[in-house]
Structure 1
Amino acid sequence: MGLQGDIAVVLQLVLLAVKIFALVTALTYSSESYVAAGKLTKPAWGIILGLAVVLQLLPVFGMIVNLAFTIATIVFLVDVRPALAGLRRR
């Protein structure tokens, strides 16, 4: 495997770690927090982020599907997580 293959493997591992972090973070907040923040429900985010982790582990799905779940993970981390964390600080 060349440098390009090594970079791809490292990128896949980083994306997997980010998706696992997002899933664990999503599961730590209460269902009421999601409602109070005006976001999708906890089960919805759990399913989205859980699928993101599973599909990251399975190489049979295309890059477009994986990219969609990567974007969903990023949306959770930059929009939903700060909104949920803001509720705890009050």
Structure 2
Amino acid sequence: MLLAGFGSFLWLLSVAMTIFAVVALVIAALAREDAYRAADKQNKTLWLILLGITVVVNLYPVLFMLQIAGLIATIVFMVDVRPALQQVSGGGRGRRGGSSSDGPYGPYNGGR
């Protein structure tokens, strides 16, 4: 019974990794090519190949280590490349034209 529960957990983990990779692949495909160059984050083709291979490896698991490598590539894309692309493309949510002295609750006036 414990082994069946562990198998179910691994299956759910695999499904979550696949969905995460598919979302990253769609985001990478929708971004403009020039945004990758402007953000200095390799190029669009490289990221599409890496994330596409990740999706295929997750759909047809051969080696767990390949799935882990794909997960790392997906995390790097989502944490590093995607925010840089959003910033270059002007799609950064949460910024309302504030200055560099703005804190999380508004401008910092130095205690004045």
> TM-score category by the smaller chain?
over 0.9
1:2 alignment partner, SS class: helix
Larger CA Rg, structure 1 vs 2: 2
Alpha-carbon offset, residue 63 of structure 1: 1.2
**Whose relative contact order is higher, 1 or 2, with alpha carbons under 8 Å and at least 6 apart?**
1
Percent identity reads 37
Alpha-carbon offset, residue 89 of structure 1: 2.1
Alignment of 1:1-90 (within 5 A): 2-59=4-61, 61-89=62-90
- Aligned residue-pair number: 89
Moved over 4 A (4+): none
The structure richer in helix per residue is: 1
Q: CA RMSD in A?
A: 1.3
Could you list the runs of 5+ residues in structure 2 that have no partner in the other structure? Answer: 92-112
Residue-by-residue CA offset, 1:53-88 (whole Å, 9 max, x unaligned): 0010112x2111111111001000000000001112
